[in-house]
Structure 1
Amino acid sequence: MIRLDTGAVTEIALLAAHCDDLAIGLGGTLLTLAETVPGLRVRALILTGAGTERAREEERALEAFCPGADLELRILDVPDGYAPAHWERAKDAVAGLRRGSSAQLVFAPQRGDAHQDHRLLAELAPTIFRDHLILGYEILKWESDTPQPTVFHPLPEGCAERKAELLMKHYPSQRDHDWFDEQSFLGLSRLRGVQCRARHAEAFLLDKATITFGGA
C-alpha cells in the first residue's frame, strides 16, 4: 500500500458536535500523536454539552487521550440535535478556533454522516480551514452511515485496546447504549486494519489535498 506522510505536525485542531465524538472517531490517532509528538498542541471545539456531566467526562477523557499535550478545549451549549438551527453561532465558533490556531492538521466529522449536527461541522470545516489538510473521521453509531474511507492510520500495537478501555472508563453516561462497548470499537478498528494490512486502524475521508513528487 502506498504511504503518504504529513510531515511535521506540532498542532492539531479538533471539531466535534458532541462529547465522545472525538474519542470514538480518532481516539487511537490522538493517543499516537500525543505519544510521538512532544509538546503537541491540541485545540478542540465541541458544540454541545457545556455545563453538564458530559462536559466533565469530555475534559477528563481528552486529558487521557492526549497525555502530555498542550490541550485547550472549548465546549458550547448548543442544543443536541439542533445545531443547524444555530448555524451562525457554530460558524463563529469554528472561525474563532481558526483564528486562534496554528494547526497543520484538522479533524472534523465526515460529510456523509447521518447526524445533522455532525454534517454541519463537516460542511463548515473546509469553508473556514481553507488551506489545511482536513481528515473526516467516522463515528460509530446505530445509523447505517458507515463510510468508505480513503485514508487509513494503522494503530500501534495495543493502541486500539487502550482506546476501547479509555472510552468505557471515561464515558459512563453512554454505557446504556447497546452499541457502546469494547467489542464494537475493536470490531470497527479491526475491519479498518484488514483494509490497510494492519491489525487495527482508524480510517478517515479526505476531500482534497495537494501532493509534491520527488520530496519537499
Structure 2
Amino acid sequence: MREIALLAAHCDDIAIGAGGTLLSLAAAYPGLRVRALVLSGGGTARADEEGKALESFCPGADLELTVLELPDGRTPAHWAAVKAALGELRRGCEPDLVFAPQPGDAHQDHRLLAELVPTEFRDHMVLGYEILKWETDTPRPTLFCPLSPAIAARKVELLFAAYPSQHDRDWFDEEAFLGLARVRGVQCKSRYAEAFVIAKAAMTFGGV
C-alpha cells in the first residue's frame, strides 16, 4: 500500500466514514501518500478543521488536501466543476485504494460524487464509506475493516477534537459513532468495524 485517495462532499465525511480505517492504514504503512479532495468548505473554518483532522487520522502520512468552495447542498448544479476536480486529482495520483461516499447515499452531494468517482478512477478499488444520518440509507456493506476497541475509541476522540463546529448536531455523539461501529463489528465477528460498499473488484492469482 503506497497511496490512497480520499474523496468527500463535505468536511468531516471522510473521518466519519473511514476514520478508523485511516488510523489503521497509517499505522500499518508509515509514509503512506494520501491525496484528499473535499468539494465544499473552502475558505472557511471548516477547511481548517478538515486539514487538522486528516493530519490526526493519517499520522506520519504524506498528506495533500484540496478543499473546494462549492455550495453545500447544491453540488448537482456544479456537475462540471466536480468532474473537473476529480479529473485533476486523478492525473496527479495513482492510488491503491480510493475512499468515496457509497453510491446509495441519499444526500444529493454524496450521491453525485459517488456516481462520478468511477468515471475517473476506472481501474481502482473504490471503497464506498457510509455516513450515519437522518435519512434511512444505511447500506448493505460488502467489505469490513475490523477495528480494535482502542482504534474505535481513538476515532471518536479525534472526531470531537477536530470538529468543534459540529458538536451541536444531534447526530454527532459517541453513541451514534460507536453504535454503528459495534453493529458492523457484529457482522464481521469483531468488536468494532467500519464497513464499505464495493461495486466491482478484480483479483489476480499467480502473479499474472
What's the counterpart of residue 16 of structure 2? 24
Is 1:194 the equivalent of 2:186?
yes
Q: Matched residues in 2 for 1:30 and 1:203: separation?
A: 13
Aligned residue in 1 for 2:89? 97
Identity %: 68
Structure-1 residue corresponding to 2:35: 43
Aligned residue number for residue 53 of structure 1: 45
Contact 1:192 1:202 in 2 (8 A): yes
Which position in structure 2 is the counterpart of 1:163? Answer: 155
- TM-score by length of structure 1 reads 0.94
**Separation in structure 2 between the aligned mates of residue 42 and residue 212 of structure 1, nearest angstrom:** 25
What is the root-mean-square deviation of aligned Cα atoms in Å? 1.0
Partners of 2:5 and 2:53 in 1: CA distance = 17
Moved over 6 A (4+): none
Unaligned runs of 5+ in 1: 1-8
For 2:201 and 2:140, how far apart are their aligned partners in 1?
Answer: 18
Partner Cα separation in structure 2 for residue 128 and residue 215 of structure 1: 26
The answer to whether structure 1 residue 112 and structure 2 residue 104 are counterparts is yes
Shift of 1:156: 3.0
Paired letter, 1:35 = A
Deviation, 1:183, is: 1.1
Matched with 1:5 is none
Residues 32 and 156, structure 1, Cα contact 8 Å, conserved in 2: no
Residues 215 and 192 from structure 1, CA distance in 2 versus in 1: closer, same or farther, beyond 3 angstroms? Answer: farther
Aligned to 2:131, the other structure's residue is in SS state coil
Choose which of 139, 145, 151 in structure 2 pairs with 1:153: 145
- Within 2, Cα distance between the matches of 1:113 and 1:215? 36
CA distance in 2, matches of 1:81, 1:115: 8
Separation (CA, whole Å) in 2 of partners of 1:10 and 1:200: 26
> What runs of 5+ residues in structure 2 fail to find an aligned partner?
none
1:46-97 residue CA offsets vs partner (Å, 9 max, x unmatched): 0000011111111111110000000000000000000010000000000110
Residue 157 of structure 1 and its aligned partner are, at CA, apart by: 3.9
Q: Match for 1:209 among 192, 201, 205?
A: 201
Matched with 1:135 is: 127
8 Å CA contact 1:10–1:40 kept in 2: the answer is yes
Q: CA deviation at 1:215?
A: 6.6
Of 160, 164, 170, the match for 1:172: 164
